[in-house]
Amino acid sequence: MWSFGTTMTMANDRDPNREPRASSPRDTIAPPQTNIRPDTRSPILSQRSLRQLGLFFAGAGFLSLATLVTRRAVVRKQRATIPRFYQPSNGPVSKIDSDGSFIAVEALGLATLNVISFGIMATGGLAWAFDISNIGDLRQLARKSIGGEGGGRTDEEAERDVEEWVAKVLLRRDDIDKEKATKPPFHKGE
């Protein structure tokens, strides 16, 4: 069999002992064989795990960029306090040319950037460690831990329990109101 200029042979193409067989209707109707290859990757490299690790590595990259930006800002402020070569070194160091409130706002922004990037990295790491891929997995894990091994209660069961509790409380209140209405008022002088 020729294919794009290369020779390809079938497994039993040239077997001299091969006998021609009669074609039966079952042979012609047989469904085509699909080559389903089993997933040979480890669970750490599965699609789900890679998605979770992707969030972790995105957070790690974001954290490294935020740290780089913070480091540049700190070095810039430190260099501003070093006297120039041609200035006398025995005089007072010149102040930074910016306003103090601007420095505080810049520091707050950089700290927020660092904390958010660390939070993204921690979220990705925890999602990978606890095998949480989406909000549904998180909800299922929380219900399982709260409700035991049974998976927790469904929303309908919880609503039914709340309805029963409210009905009991209202019945008790109605009973108390009826008792107050049937009791004669108490007078001290009589």
Q: Domain limits at 143?
A: 44-83+95-148
Provide the 10 A C-beta neighbour count for residue 117: 20
3-state helix, strand, coil in the chain (%, to 5): 60, 0, 35
pLDDT in tens, the chain (190 residues): 444 444 544 555 555 565 555 555 555 565 555 555 455 556 667 777 787 788 889 999 999 999 999 999 999 888 877 777 777 767 666 665 567 788 889 999 999 999 999 999 999 888 888 888 888 888 888 888 887 555 555 678 878 888 999 999 888 888 888 888 787 766 665 5
Q: Is 100 part of any domain? A: yes
The rounded distance, in Å, linking the Cα atoms of 123 and 130 is 10
pLDDT of residue 95: 60
Our CA dihedral for 143, 148, 150, 155, rounded to 10 degrees, sits at: -40
Tally of domains in the chain:
1
pLDDT of residue 136: 84
pLDDT of residue 179: 82
Residue 32 DSSP SS3: coil
pLDDT of residue 67: 94
- Whole-model pTM: value is 0.49
pLDDT of residue 2: 47
